[in-house]
Amino acid sequence: MAIRNLCLVALILLFAAGCHDSKDEVPPGPPPQQVEHPVQDVKPLVRATESIADPQRPPIDPLPVFQTVGAESGFEFERFDDVQGQRRIIEVNGGGVGLIDYDHDGWLDIFLTNGCRLPLSLNDQSHPSALFRTFPGMKFRSVAESALVQQFGHATGCAVGDFDNDGFDDLYVCTFRENILWMNNGDGTFTEATPEPLKVPGWSTSVAAADLNLDGVLDLYVVNYLVESDSEPRLCLNAAAPDGFEQCPPALFDGVDDVLLLGDGEGGFVDATESFGMHGLRGKGLGVVVSNLDDDDYPEIYVANDGQANFLFDAVVDDAGKLESYREIALAAGAALSESGFAQASMGVTSGDANGDGLSDLYMSHFYNDSNTLYENLGGLTLEDASRRSRLGPPSKRSLGFGTQFFDANADGWLDVMVTNGHIEDHSWMEHGEPFFQRPQLFLNEGQGKFAESSHWAGEYFQQERMGRGLAIGDLDHDGRLDVVCANQFGPSAILRNITDGARLQIVRVIGRTANRSGIGTQFRCESKPGCKIRELTGGGSFQSANAHHAALSGSIDEWTIHNLAAGSSPQYGVWMLPDGQVAVLERR
């Protein structure tokens, strides 16, 4: 089943050309005179999805509702991208968002990456990335300057984790040139402390923090996109376009190896890409998630590639059970290509138990006129495209998705999924052009892995076209309901407060001791009630973003068992109820 149509697959791997048709290319050269962000003023002539006069209400109660948090809260951020009218590929991916309790006060704070004027030689420092401190009552304050997070340059994605196991979350930021590690000083400030291996020169997009070799220290898998220049960009002509240019397709660019970095527990890292057998694959990666798909000790690494077969890395261990290398198995596992055998333009990716069978599945966002994909986990590292039978595929074909995440939006025990949408190029000047700004989508799990779109009832934010990119999930106001932060392009980023009536989730913080301090990789299992049977603190996920490292459990924590908190035998841990109603799980040595 997973290795069918090998002849077709071989042709695809040889001739796949990315997500666009080829265009007339012009030689790389210096950019023309600066123009002032013409794309930001464009209004779409076509809606992202067809208007439904009387959509059918999903048979689910309660339906989740989200309220947009206004500027009066203190949260205001709009990413800057240096749009110069040439449709350069560097302009289109936007940024991401990371949720981090940087000051250890129990409230999730918000980090958003920003762009800059190009070329980078201009050393533009007028558009720093942003850090917002969260206060009770959904109030926020911009604190990047006082926290000494002086993050400039063309930043893309980020990862959050306690890389030196000192109890304070650190921040790793991907950029177009050299990535940066911000170490948390524990006093509300950060210090830039990037060892040479972490710089990863090139164009990094998403990154996942996880303990890959189970030594109790967080490692990093850094996804790289393609080879491009900020000073001499590759340009493609289109005489019919208003500005004479069209974005060059990814197929015209060379791919780049991703990078695997093993942490030493003190903020240092070693590049293990080649020694672990992951060198020379030259993908065009945009998303990554680290999740345990086969219930052994070691997690798998899944990479979303743009217009190329996706990667699935499975751990190879020696006789003593120690990680020795990785093998890439996506094609054999059934998770490299679509059901039709084609490489897709993969952007975002998330992992979760979509059908309640106790196995984590994979969901991916894709290009316009191509459906998003749900890979159902059949066990034994065999996955199957279930996009049609899950009813997740068809409603996504008229959108171009980026950030995506499984989460229990209405606290009914089943994982739902949200997608941020927005095109990479403005085609509204064409008679039947694809829409530029697009509405986000929310799909509710009806049980057993069948989904229904509920965007129509989810709140005002879902009724308006956006340029969605990054997305992160966490309980920002401590009410047991999961909120959403959307990192948008060409418009304000947004906080969506979950105001759904009904049940609440139990928010659980995990603190490792022999395990990594952030608890990433921990699984919670429940067999006593209907719904999804597993919750996992995954590494990475979404698009260029970092979710809160908290588990959100339906019912009481007493109904759940804890797994994979530490390597080896069953972990010993204590459970504490916190004053705010959340729960802390602390590993005992």
Mean pLDDT for the chain overall: 90
* Cβ neighbours, 10 Å, residue 382: 17
Q: Which tokens hold the place of 408?
A: 């229990």
pLDDT tens digits along 67-76: 999 999 999 9
* Cα gap 74→250, rounded to integer Å: 38
Summarised one tens digit per residue, pLDDT across range 434-490 is 899 999 999 999 998 899 999 999 999 999 999 999 999 999 999 999 999 999 999
Output the six-digit token pair for 85.
């009218």
Question: Is the model's pLDDT at 560 over the cut of 60?
Answer: yes
Q: Is 41 helix (H, G, I), strand (E, B) or coil?
A: helix
The lowest-confidence range among 42-46, 337-341, 358-362, 459-463 is 42-46
d(Cα 300, Cα 406) in Å, to the nearest integer?
18
**Do 237 and 245 form a contact (C-beta atoms < 8 A)?**
yes
268-288 pLDDT, tens digit per residue, is 999 999 999 999 999 999 999
Q: Is there a contact between 180 and 190 (Cβ–Cβ < 8 Å)? A: no
pLDDT-above-70 percentage for the chain: 90
Cβ atoms 97, 112 nearer than 8 A: yes
Digit-coded pLDDT (tens) for 384-432: 999 999 999 999 999 999 999 999 999 999 999 999 999 999 888 887 7
Residue 271's Cβ-count burial label (10 Å; 0-12, 13-18, 19+) is middle
* DSSP summary character for residue 36: -
Determine contact, residues 373/364, Cβ cutoff 8 Å.
yes
What is the arrangement of strands in the sheet containing 468-474, beginning at the earlier edge strand? 66-68, 494-498, 483-488, 468-474
φ, ψ at 404 (rounded to 5°) = -150, 150
User: Which pTM was predicted?
Assistant: 0.90
Give exposure, 107-117, as e/b (b: 16+ Cβ within 10 Å): bbbbbbbbbbb
Task: Round to whole Å and give the CA distance between 84 and 40.
Answer: 11
Q: In the predicted model, is pLDDT for residue 42 greater than 70? A: no
Which of these, 365, 498, 496, 501, lies nearest to 97 by C-alpha position?
Answer: 496
DSSP 331: H
| Region of residue 511 (phi > 0: left; psi between -120 and 50: alpha; otherwise: beta) | beta
Q: Is the pLDDT reported for residue 28 higher than 60?
A: no
The secondary structure of residue 208, as a DSSP letter, is E
Phi, psi of 243 (to 5 degrees): -100, 5
Distance from C-alpha of 100 to C-alpha of 549, rounded to nearest angstrom: 9
State whether residue 68 is helix, strand or coil: strand
Strand partners, 584: 509, 576
Strands 441-447 and 416-421: antiparallel
Question: Which three-class secondary structure state does DSSP give residue 242?
Answer: coil
The H or E element spanning position 72 is none
Strand order in 245-246's β-sheet?
A: 24-26, 235-237, 245-246
Q: Is the peptide bond before 299 cis (omega within 30 degrees of 0)?
A: no
Give the three-class secondary structure for 507.
Answer: strand
Torsion, CA 163, CA 166, CA 167, CA 170, rounded to 10? -30
Residue 188 token pair: 């509300």
Q: What is the pLDDT of residue 8?
A: 40
Secondary structure (H, E, C), 536-569: ECCEECECCCECCCEEEEECCHHHCEEECCCCCC
Peptide bond into 394 cis (omega under 30): no
